[in-house]
Amino acid sequence: MVIGHRLLGQTADWQLFARGPDDLLRIQFAQGRVTRTYVPLLQTSIPAVALVIGAHEAVIRSADFVPGYVVPDGANARVLTGPLAGGGPLIPGPPGSQAAWVTTGSRTSSVLSLITLTGRRSGPVIRFRARQLPATAVSDGRGDVLVTTGPFAVVDAGPGWHRRLPGAIIAVGQDGWLAVTCRAQFPRCREEVVDSADRVRRILPGHAGAESYYFSWPPIGVIAPDGTTAAVPESGSGGTLTVHLIDLRTGMTRNLDVRIGAPGSNQSPDGGQQSMVWSPDSRWLFVAAVGGHLVVINARTGRTVSLGVKLPAVDQVAVRR
């Protein structure tokens, strides 16, 4: 579908991918083009579905042993084969690697191996300690992984290293995380911004509503690439989850009144995983909202804007930079 004009006024060549129940949308903003590719419905009963974007393809795969698919740019979807086709998590690798972390090895000594999206081993592996299971691994936002053994037991892991993180991680970004720590010596739970490079922790000023955050694994929240804002789900009446923007400098929050589904609920077909993603310039937040609607939010104003294009239902979103 050629729109005939730029979408959102964008001139940079980044793209948004949006997965629906049986299709994949590739939205090229600068070119004003939306490409829709049919992808067979995944025959899975679990909500853990990965959407990994490469330089020239997108990979869609469930965490269980059912067929996944690769969608090359400009071509039809085809069944995923080779090392990428196994079960377990499929996690984007380091920036520029065009690879993903995949579970390999035996049941008793499994590791995460870096496999290119063309199916070749790329070298390093991530090994795990007692009680750290590869099945819990998710992206840490910068090319390694987070694993958990409990709600407040999260470890950042990479080839040859493991580092314990404070509290529960509620939002992930390329330069750090937003954590909620609840300890006996605190008068209440508090929010901390953790730098992923040096592990320096900074208490978020003010009160951003720690008691109302929705805690889940994997974390649903996402931090903007410029590190200034986090988008997180908060619990509301009737168990609804609404997206809030948190200023990571002041702690101030804005309720966007946009609903997303909770993992395991019937509100969202994909259970919230990869429900939100930021544009590379941190200007736009894209949300796969309840009802399959793709909601576009101007981060500066907090207002919803229209793409001006009618789209089919979407469950997940991801960006190609």
- pLDDT, one tens digit per residue, over 302-319 is 999 999 899 999 999 999
> β-pairing, 138-139 with 221-223?
unpaired
d(C-alpha 177, C-alpha 104), whole Å: 27
User: For residues 179-209, b (16+ Cβ closer than 10 Å) or e, as one string?
Assistant: bbbeeeeeeebbbbbbebeeeebeebeeebb
Q: Which helix (H) or strand (E) holds 229?
A: strand 229-235
Higher-confidence position of 207 and 284? 284
| Token pair listed for 64 | 């269980």
pLDDT at residue 269 in the model: 37
Residue 2 has pLDDT above 80, yes or no: no
Cβ pair 270, 288 in contact under 8 A: yes
Higher pLDDT, 283 or 153: 283
Rounded to two decimals, the pTM is 0.93
pLDDT bin (cut points 50, 70, 90) of residue 22 is: very high
Quick check: 272 and 242 in contact, CB under 8 A? no
- Using 50, 70 and 90 to split pLDDT, how confident is the model at 182? confident
